[in-house]
Structures are given as C-alpha cells and as structure tokens.
Structure 1
Amino acid sequence: MNEAYIDLLTNLESLESVVVAFSGGVDSTFLLYACKQVLGDNVIAVTVDSPYIPRWEIEESKELVSLFGVKHHIIKVDIPDNIANNPEDRCYLCKKEIFSNIIKYKNEIDFKYVVDGSNYDDTKDYRPGMRALKELDVRSPLLESKLTKAQIRELSKQQKVPTWNKPAYACLLSRLPYNTQIFTHELRKIELAEKFIMDKGFKGIRVRSFGDTAKIEIFKEDMERFLNYENIKDINEKLIELGYKVVTLDLGGYSMGKMNRSIEERNN
C-alpha cells in the first residue's frame, strides 16, 4: 500500500458514515471497496437509474455491491427538463440534479457525507460536472488523496477489486452532439449498438449518434481485428436493424471526450 492509499483510508475513516455515488466503474468501485474496509456498515451505495444509463451497467452495479456486502439503494430519475436539448453545460446541470437527489437520501438516513469517485486526473480535463460537486459539498476522496486513474487501477488489481481493468465508460448522453434534442428511443438504440459490439469482444468502444448516422470509435489496437469482413458485415447489419441508415468508423480510433473538443478549443 502506497502513501496515497494510506492517506485515502485515513481520510475515509474520518468521514464516519458515507453514501457512495456508485456507477460500477473503476473509480467508484474502488472507492466503495475502500469505504467498506474502514467504515464497515456505515457505507451505502447509491446508483442512479435513468434513461441515459445502460441497463447492463445497472445490473453490473448490483452485482458489485452484492459482492462487497454493502447496502444498495437505487434512485430512478428521468431526463431533467433543463438538459432535454443536450446543452454544453449538460454535465453540470445533470450532476446538480442527480447529486441533489443523493443528498436528499443521505439526509433521510442521517449519514454524514456523500462521496463520489472523481480522481486526480479529472482536474486536467473538461469536467463541468466538477463545479456542481463543489457547490453541493460532495466529497471526492480519491481526488483529495491525489490518486490518478492509473494508480486506482493498480491498487484495484493489488486488492483484487474486479473492475481494475474495466474500460472507462460514460453516460449515453456523451454520444450525442451538443444542442440537439434527446430522445429516449435514440439512447436505447445507442445502448443496444454498443452492447452488440462489446459482446463481440471490443470493450473500449463508443457509438456516436448523429441522427441516422452512427460513427463507431474503437481502440486503435483493435482496428485490424474490427475490420474483418464478417465482423463489419454483422455490425453494419445490426446497426441498420436498430434504425441507423449509415454506419461509419472513426479512423482516428477512440479517444475520450471527442464531443468536447470544440468547447475546449473555444475556451482556449
């Protein structure tokens, strides 16, 4: 255990009782594991179930919480009216809505803190949702201990946390262009398209949705395997079946936050 991990455990112990905003990703899973180690039964995982969260991710979150022996509470939310057109500050507005609901639950059960899985790397990227967390006094213990994503993966591996090598994932709204209306049926279409491709063994993928056009992003190291004729034929047919008319491949491969590039360029 390195100094940052010891610092994390000490920090968590001082919080006494926490509600963990739990998505089932690498960061929140490691945080939940660490909270359980030092706080025991004074930990509750809360998962948000909304139209922009894939069904498989909700089910995975249930399995992980059960594995750790932690109480699990699920909050169902609809798409807030103020993000219905996918504004550029969507992440801020969404986080404000979601965490307000989690804080309300925390107050109902008389726990002391809501904590989330933001890590130190999140301070170096376009993350408008971080502002909402600060405004609501949500604690981010991994960030406070300056743990990076790479360190969290390594510590997860050491502690045998099963998500140590799980690919990063983001909500389905990140697949849509900003300033376009959000439709539940389109989110389901994206979810089913990505699940079909992931089930073929491609874990780090995104299906960016532009109306009738799907643009697939995959890891560059998977590109050659992806371009097998039978594979692309199957994927093309499936996505057409789901409702897309044109299916394309981003030759630059997958990289995080491609939809944010125009905002970052404008802000710079």
Structure 2
Amino acid sequence: MILTEKLESLKALFTEMERALIAYSGGVDSTLVAKIAYDVLGDRALAVTAISPSLLPEELAAASQQAAFIGIPHKIVQTHEMDNPNYTSNPVNRCYFCKSELHDTLKPLALELGYPYVVDGVNADDLHDYRPGIQAAKERGARSPLAEVNLTKAEVRQISQQLGLPWWDKPAQPCLSSRFPYGEEITIAKLQRVGRAEIYLQNLGWQNLRVRSEGDTARIELSPEQIKNFVLTTDLPSLVAKFQQLGFIYVTLDLEGYRSGKLNQVLQTSSVPS
C-alpha cells in the first residue's frame, strides 16, 4: 500500500469512529494521530495527555503547543503509576503497569465524556519490539490506528513533514523510566535527576540523546556521528560538575552511541513475561 493510500485509510478509520479520545504524549506518532483525528472529526476528537513524574515539564509544554497548533481540544489528566510497586520495582514488563494505569484512567474518562474509542500512537514498527504496554492497551480496548494501516515510524515522519507539522523530525522521547536498567528501583528523585541531565545536554545543543542511569553512574548516549565532536568541543569538567550537582558521582560516555531500546538487549527470551 502506497503512502497516500495509507493516509486515506487512516482518515477512513476516524470517519468510522465518529468520536475519539487520543492518548496524546506529544511525540511524533500520537501527534500525527491527533492531527488526522482533528482534521476528520473536528471537536469530536479530544487529545488527552497524562502527567506524572516520568514526564518532563518541557515535554508537557511542547505537547500543549503542538495541540494548539493543530487546533484539537487538549485535556490534561494525572496518572499514579508511581504508587504501584509493580511499576517502581522496574521489572522487565514495567511498561505493562504504566500503560495499565494510563488506560484505566483514559477509558472511564472517554465513557464519561461520550467518546466510544480510545486510540494511541503505536505504529507498525512498535509491534516488532518488546512493548508490554501494547498488551495492556489492547486489554482495555484501545486501538492503534497507525499500526492498523501499517504505518511505520519513517512513514509517520514523512506524512508529518508533508502536512507541514514543524515537529516531524522530533527525536523520540519515551518516558524517563526507560533510562534505568531493569530491576533498579525507580523514584521521583531519580527521574528528576536524569531528566534535568538530559535537558542540560539539550540546552548545550545536543539532540537525539539519552542519559542512562545506573546507581550513581550516568552514561551519556549520543548518536555515533556526534561522539567525536562532543569530546572535542564540550567543556567536560563543567559537564561533570553539573551532573555531580544533580546527584551523580560518575559520568561516562557510551562509545557505541545511542540506540533505541538498548536496555532491552539484556533480556533473555526466558526472562520476558509472555
């Protein structure tokens, strides 16, 4: 199916739904879903962003700005996954408990407001990675329009660019809990520490990065082509001092570079819940 046909199929899905609530993070995927939903349904589409300690305030601000650009009504709700020890203990299926909390919040809200469908931004590529959160969403009746019409991440960016959405090339920004190795307890203080470290690097001009946190050690991941320039041009003593001010003791640079889902490489098939 060519790209224009996929886009028309996506629009047709929303036409059939008549009213839809979008689980809207502000990422490229969910923002395209929100854009198409609003183009088709107008005010019968609602974007809802869930806030918690795992979402940076800057990400919430960006999501609000993008929703305003599109014109879609935007609502903010609070989720409480940090109250669930199944989440904070950070098991390999942590995302299952995060998405369970999200959709246990969104589904009653949708019913209360008269939206028969809750949809998310899962794309076709996501179905080929270990994403336990997808199972939680499906169990609660959520739909994934991008995946349903087989739109990949690259195609989502391509359509977003064609539609004139300024954030079409926005780097992926999964929740901050993904910065910690499985089994390390997640706390609000740790989330804030790693979040501020990433914002610090972004403010220095570096993009598409992660600060992985393990105990007292921060491991900076940059795209491989940025590593040499980073080492040569960054005031490393100032960077280390800033990270130590945030609460890290050791600061390292990952020589392999950034790769999405890197923490999943430690998983063995036998350790992944079915």
Q: TM-score, normalised by structure 1?
A: 0.96
1:236-257 alpha-carbon deviations (Å, 9 max, x no partner): 2211111111000010000011
Secondary structure of the residue aligned to 1:7 is helix
1:46-77 alpha-carbon deviations (Å, 9 max, x no partner): 00100111111011111111111221111112
Which structure 1 residue ranges, 4+ long, deviate > 3 Å from structure 2?
Answer: 264-268
Query: In structure 2, what is the equivalent of residue 223 of structure 1?
Result: 227
> Would the aligned equivalents of 2:79 and 2:101 in 1 still touch at CA under 8 Å?
no
Identity of aligned residues (%): 38
Shift of 1:264: 4.7
> Would the aligned equivalents of 2:49 and 2:76 in 1 still touch at CA under 8 Å?
yes
Query: In structure 2, what is the equivalent of residue 105 of structure 1?
Result: 109
Secondary structure of the residue aligned to 2:43 is coil
Count, aligned residues = 268
Query: What is the distance in 2 between the residues matched to 1:187 and 1:200?
Result: 20
Query: What is the distance in 1 between the residues matched to 2:121 and 2:15?
Result: 16
Q: Does 1:30 align with 2:19?
A: no
Pick the aligned partner of 2:93 from 69, 89, 95.
89
> Would the aligned equivalents of 1:48 and 1:74 in 2 still touch at CA under 8 Å?
yes
1:249-268 alpha-carbon deviations (Å, 9 max, x no partner): 01000001111112255569
Q: Does 1:243 align with 2:250?
A: no
Q: Does 1:159 align with 2:163?
A: yes
Query: In structure 1, what is the equivalent of residue 214 of structure 2?
Result: 210
Q: Which runs of 5+ in 2 are unaligned?
A: none
Q: Does 1:170 align with 2:194?
A: no
Q: How does 1:187-206 map to 2 (within 5 A)?
A: 187-206=191-210
Secondary structure of the residue aligned to 2:150 is coil
1:189-233 alpha-carbon deviations (Å, 9 max, x no partner): 000000000111211111111121100101011112211254333
Query: What is the distance in 1 between the residues matched to 2:120 and 2:187?
Result: 28
Pick the aligned partner of 2:77 from 75, 78, 96.
75
Query: What is the distance in 1 between the residues matched to 2:213 and 2:68?
Result: 34
- Please tell me the root mean square deviation across aligned C-alpha atoms, in Å: 1.4
